[in-house]
Amino acid sequence: MATIAPPVEPAAHALVDDRPFIRKYIFSTDHKIIGIQFLLMSLIFLLIGGSLAMMMRWQLGFPGQPMPGGSLLPETMASNRVILPEFYTSLVTMHGTFMVFFAIMPLLVGVFGNYLIPLKIGAHDMAFPRLNMASFWLAVPAGFIMVAGFFVVGGHAAAGWTAYAPLSANPEYTGVSTGQQLWCVSLIVLGLSSILGAVNYISTVINLRAPGMTWFRMPLSIWALFITAILVLLAMPILSGALIMLLFDQTLGTHFYLPAQGGQPLLWQHLFWFFGHPEVYILILPAMGMVSDIIANGSRKPIFGYHSMVIAIISIGFLGWIVWGHHMFQSGMNPTLGTTFMVSTMLISVPSAIKVFNWLGTLWGGSIKFTVPMLHACSFVAMFVIGGLSGVFMASPPLDMYIHDTYFIVAHLHYVLFGGSLFAIFGAITFWYPKMFGRMMNARLGQIHFFLTFIFYNAVFFPMHQLGLHGHMRRIYDPTRYDFLKPLAGLNRFISISAFLLFASQLLFIVNFIGSWFRGRKAERNPWDDTGLEWTTPSPPPHGNWAVVPRVYHPPYEFGSGLTTEDFLPQDRKLDTLPAPATAPAGG
Amino acid sequence: MAHAPTHASVMEPSPDAEQGSGVYNEKLGMWIFLLSEIMFFTALIGSYIILRFSHPDAWTAPGKTLNIPVTAVNTFILICSSVTMVKAYASVADGNQRMLRLWLVLTVLIGATFVGIQAYEYTHLIEKGFVPSAGLYGTTFYTMTGFHGFHVTMGVLCMSFVTWKAFRGRYTAADHRGVEVIGLYWHFVDLVWIILFTIVYLI
């Protein structure tokens, strides 16, 4: 190493950005621009997915009543402004599909994987910048194909986001053929995009860490994104294979999932959930990592139990592969096998609990600053506990028999995906917004948005536990048609009204996001007094991030350090006097 | 890219970074990509095993429907292309441009021959009425061999690109990353075929 000249010349040249507009902002290879592109794309899909949910909530809260704005929908979707049952099943399907694959997953992996990995490990860019661009420009057509399904004859896919065969494999069952095929094609393309992204993230983390950035000096967000990338890499191809077989069943007349000629409908469930359960952790691990960063920063304390946090992330990533059967307790599974899946599922609560206690340990005795990111991060912890605990109930087959396919499941998954992941995403966007756009988001507006979202979110999803325990099935079009669900009509209406208010509260976020872009207070380099490497570059960082990559001397969360005059010690600051031995090396 | 490596050998990991995998980015990236390819073929092969165990009578005896001799020859041809690939890599590592080009052209031709023979095989099977919708046998046969053929086709296309670059003198003894990386993919696709040939044709 000593024989090689420091790469000042070429790298400094890299900071001069003379790319034309189209290479800079459209077909960019810069990881930061790609991250922002993913951010805008997935926020649009978040809005689409939310709008679909609002239509569902109208039908559930006010069944059979004309929907405001329903006249905008064509006759195939709503008749006399009343949502048709066929369209309702498409809404259920597409709400799940958009939220899981086009909103939460790209928000966590596409946005923050791209934006944070090179900046936090001290690299000029990803290992494969052009592959990175390809990954984004595959996700966009996948999104268009998915949206196009609404406009084809027969309507969009209607077999649920899990697309259980043979319902999804035989068009006669749902009356949807083209929509379901577009659904498959879109997810195959998106899968390829995710795999290319994962190859990039893993290679970057392994090979491009700045000097001194050892594995156990990596921030937990990077650890989480790294393990997530491994899950994406290994899980997405399983889904692609399953989808290709489904597509062939629909188009080529093969018989993978169709029992009439010996196919196995359960094969789809096994393949889907073998992908699907790691997918669950793909949707929560990056959120956990970023929440760790934000909580340490907001408590002004090093994260409690850094190594146990890392080991917890790794063990959740591993255990996620051997629990898929808990989605299938009702599929006629051998009870012994069911018990095995129950035990492995409950094991996951151990690393999850370690993480929760470590977050509490970090908060304990800290000088907590309730900034907007911190509010979101704390509510992540609280909501994740609720969602996680109901997950422990469901892991038990006898109990699952009762609550399977009811609103209890819907409540659980939204507590993890909305209360968990989406709160973390709001927190992370607010936290890294100044770095992305060079301006601060408005804190007052952010607080109001947080409190309204928190209140209405709980008003929507907490009562769903109760619906589920009363036996309210998920995905049904009109609950008032069942006598035993009639007493729940009032509760359903309360949930719907809360959901509309929840949706309306998001307007504040949109206003804040767009408004701050143009009018926000200019952000300095390190507005949150954080220790990470990304805060050592200007906001927003130039193309190439640093003229010379920083050198790392410290672990990631040195807050409240007595070694500096501020209360934090940036990872790249070399101290003249070393803490432990009194004799400092000369020329330091 | 703007961040051109400044150290002596591009086929070593960058000295400008913390100790990583010990190999250069492109090679690491290909190995990681191949892991996901393994999972993809696992989905297909695993489904085949499950379907065949649950309905063994949907399959005819080996050799009855499929033409084993033709495919055995084809398998041999594909293995030969792995040999020519290795020779291409060895040539460029020695800095022998002429032999690099020769072996790469041979690899492309042999790979294309494999796909051609597979197309010939498909045509005959379809004429005999053995189509993808012909029971579980046809279903799994065409999906598995078809996706392997698709991978070989992609490999031939990428290999042609590498060959074109080789003719423009882009690979040297000091930097032949493209040849090594496409070679990894090529050997992987070969290996998959050996497994597929065994479980689809011979068993």
Any idea which architecture B25-202 has in CATH?
Up-down Bundle (1.20)
DSSP state of A470: T
Q: How far is A542 from chain B (nearest CA, A)?
A: 13
| Residue B125 and residue B66 in contact, taking contact as beta carbons nearer than 8 Å | yes
Neighbouring CB atoms inside 10 A of B174's CB total 11
- Each domain of chain B, given as residue ranges in start order, spans 25-202
A432: containing domain: 32-536
pLDDT range class, residue A261, cuts 50, 70, 90: confident
Q: What does chain B come to in residues?
A: 203
pLDDT of residue A92 exceeding 90, the answer is: yes
Residue contact A211–B40, C-beta within 8 A: no
For every residue of A17-85, DSSP letters joined together read ----HIIIIIS---HHHHHHHHHHHHHHHHHHHHHHHHHHHHHHHSTTSPPTTGGGS-TTTEETTEEPH
Q: What pLDDT does A579 receive?
A: 54
Q: What pLDDT does A369 receive?
A: 92
Q: What pLDDT does A302 receive?
A: 95
Q: What pLDDT does A254 receive?
A: 93
Helix axes of B25-54 and A220-251: crossing angle, nearest 10 degrees: 40
Mean pLDDT across B23-30? 94
* A83 DSSP β-pair partners: A78
Q: What CATH number corresponds to the domain at position A88?
A: 1.20.210.10
**Whole-angstrom distance, CA of residue A447 vs CA of residue A430:** 11
Would the CA dihedral through A256, A257, A262, A266 be positive or negative? Answer: positive
Residue contact B47–A11, C-beta within 8 A: no
pLDDT range class, residue A284, cuts 50, 70, 90: very high
Say which amino acid occupies A438. G
Mean pLDDT across B189-198? 96
Chain A residues 162-201 with CB within 8 Å of chain B: 195, 198-200
Give the pLDDT confidence of A199-227 residue by residue, as tens digits. Answer: 999 999 999 999 999 999 999 999 999 99
Residues of chain A above pLDDT 90, percent: 86
Q: What pLDDT does B53 receive?
A: 93
Q: What pLDDT does A132 receive?
A: 95
Partners of residue A549 in chain B, C-beta under 8 Å: 16-17
Nearest 5°: CA angle at A474, between A403 and A247?
A: 115
For every residue of A504-534, DSSP letters joined together read HHHHHHHHHHHHHHHHSPBP-S-TT---SGG
pLDDT range class, residue A581, cuts 50, 70, 90: very low
pLDDT of residue B155 exceeding 80, the answer is: yes
pLDDT of residue A50 exceeding 50, the answer is: yes
On average, the pLDDT of chain B sits at 92
Q: What three-state secondary structure class fits A523?
A: coil
A349: burial class by Cβ within 10 Å (0-12, 13-18, 19+)?
Answer: middle
Mean pLDDT across A568-575? 91
Give the pLDDT confidence of A296-333 residue by residue, as tens digits. Answer: 999 999 999 999 999 999 999 999 999 999 999 999 88
Rg (CA), chain B: 20
Residue contact A127–B25, C-beta within 8 A: yes
**Whole-angstrom distance, CA of residue A388 vs CA of residue A192:** 31
Q: What pLDDT does B8 receive?
A: 52
A267 lies within 8 A of chain B by CB: yes
Q: How far is B49 from chain A (nearest CA, A)?
A: 11
pLDDT range class, residue A274, cuts 50, 70, 90: very high
Across A5-14, A213-222, B152-161, B168-177, least confident range: A5-14
State how far Cα B20 lies from the chain centre. Answer: 27
Give the pLDDT confidence of A521-542 residue by residue, as tens digits. Answer: 999 999 999 999 999 999 999 9
Give the pLDDT confidence of A399-413 residue by residue, as tens digits. Answer: 999 999 999 999 999
**Whole-angstrom distance, CA of residue A522 vs CA of residue B67:** 72
* A439 DSSP β-pair partners: A522
Residue contact A263–B139, C-beta within 8 A: yes
The residue of chain B with its CA nearest to that of A247 is B143
Q: How far is B145 from chain A (nearest CA, A)?
A: 13
Q: How far is B78 from chain A (nearest CA, A)?
A: 24
pLDDT of residue A4 exceeding 90, the answer is: no
Residue contact A255–B136, C-beta within 8 A: yes
Return the closest-CA partner of residue A267 out of B181, B146, B136, B172. Answer: B136
Please name the residue that has the structure tokens 């960082």: A541
pLDDT of residue B54 exceeding 70, the answer is: yes
Neighbouring CB atoms inside 10 A of A561's CB total 19
Mean pLDDT across A416-430? 96
Q: What pLDDT does A112 receive?
A: 97
| Residue A197 and residue A232 in contact, taking contact as beta carbons nearer than 8 Å | yes
Residue A7 included in any domain: no
Q: How far is B98 from chain A (nearest CA, A)?
A: 30
Return the closest-CA partner of residue A11 out of B11, B6, B7, B9. Answer: B6
Residue A473 has φ and ψ, to the nearest 5°, of: -70, 150
Residue A586 included in any domain: no
Residue A480 included in any domain: yes
Residue contact B133–A252, C-beta within 8 A: yes
Residue contact B132–A252, C-beta within 8 A: yes
Q: How far is A272 from chain B (nearest CA, A)?
A: 10
Q: What pLDDT does A15 receive?
A: 59
Mean pLDDT across A365-376? 95
Residue A582 included in any domain: no
The residue of chain A with its CA nearest to that of B16 is A211
The residue of chain B with its CA nearest to that of A15 is B2
On average, the pLDDT of chain A sits at 92
Mean pLDDT across A505-526? 96
* A473 DSSP β-pair partners: A406
**Whole-angstrom distance, CA of residue A375 vs CA of residue A386:** 17
In chain B, beta strands by DSSP E: none
Number of domains in chain A: 1
Q: Is pLDDT larger for residue A369 or for residue B20? A: A369
Give the pLDDT confidence of B83-118 residue by residue, as tens digits. Answer: 999 999 999 999 999 999 999 999 999 999 999 999
Residue A209 included in any domain: yes
Mean pLDDT across A126-131? 95
The HSE-up count of residue A320 (CA atoms within 13 Å, CB side) is 27
Give the pLDDT confidence of A143-193 residue by residue, as tens digits. Answer: 999 999 999 999 999 999 999 999 999 988 888 999 999 999 999 999 999
Closest partner CB to A203 (pick from B32, B39, B43): B32
Residue A572 included in any domain: no
A250 lies within 8 A of chain B by CB: no
Q: What three-state secondary structure class fits A301?
A: coil
Partners of residue A267 in chain B, C-beta under 8 Å: 47, 50-51
Residue contact B139–A14, C-beta within 8 A: no
**Whole-angstrom distance, CA of residue B96 vs CA of residue A230:** 38
Neighbouring CB atoms inside 10 A of A553's CB total 18
DSSP state of A565: S
pLDDT of residue B4 exceeding 50, the answer is: no
